[in-house]
Amino acid sequence: MSIHSETTLTRRKFLEAVGATGAVCVAAGLIGMPTLTEAADAPAATNIDELIAKELGAGPVALEKVKIDTPPKAENGALVRMPVSVDHPMEADNYIATLAIFVDDNPKPLVGKFDFTPAAGKVEVELRIKMAKASQIRAIAKTNKGKLYGAVMKLEVAEGGCAG
């Protein structure tokens, strides 16, 4: 004869409790977050210069010191390798404070923004981004004094994933 008390926890009851707790946690975490359709309906930035000014501050961008080291044609738009470097001193009173990467024709053009201190020694980043079509790419660096440097290039994306 088997005796079970009301407090015995079976494997089934344990899994039910864990599953219910997980569902509540997931539901609570999603409250206030945009749905997929809301995110898709969000307006894209149409003026890239306004977006750059908003993210890094207004002012002229000197097209020097910044290098985007990617081939002009991506073989696979799903995975575009994009190394970016800035040839600028990283001294206590003169350094690159921020580097931002923009892809003009992306739904969200700002694809990366990085902050630096003089302790970094040099400014080098590498991103892997997704692009559905050819677009202008911009890498803009801002010094701690507010001066902007940048590079711009047109990046083609091979149709069907084959460069040729």
Same domain as 64, residue 12: no
> Does position 37 have pLDDT exceeding 50, yes or no?
no
Stretch (H or E) spanning 126: strand 123-129
Q: Does residue 2 form part of some domain?
A: no
36 and 91 housed in the same domain:
no
Average pLDDT over residues 135-163: 88
DSSP conformational letter for 64: -
- pLDDT confidence of residue 77: 86
β-bridge partners, 139: 101, 151
147 and 74 in a single domain? The answer is yes
For the whole model, what pTM was predicted? 0.69
On the question of pLDDT at 75 being above 90, the answer is no
In terms of C-beta density within 10 A (0-12 exposed, 13-18 middle, 19 or more buried), how is residue 24 classed?
A: exposed
If pLDDT is split at 50, 70 and 90, which confidence band does 30 have?
very low
**Is residue 153 scored above 70 in pLDDT?**
yes
One domain, residues 15 and 74:
no
Which pLDDT score is estimated for 132?
Answer: 84
- 8 Å CB contact between 109 and 53: no
Does the pLDDT at position 38 exceed 50? no
Q: What is the arithmetic mean of pLDDT over 58-74?
A: 94
Higher pLDDT pick, 79 / 3: 79
Check pLDDT > 70 for residue 92. Answer: yes
Are residues 55 and 37 part of one domain? no
Please give the pLDDT value at position 164. 45
Q: What is the pLDDT of residues 7-17, one digit of tens each?
A: 566 767 656 66
> Residue 26 belongs to what domain range?
8-42
Greater confidence (21 vs 98) lies with: 98
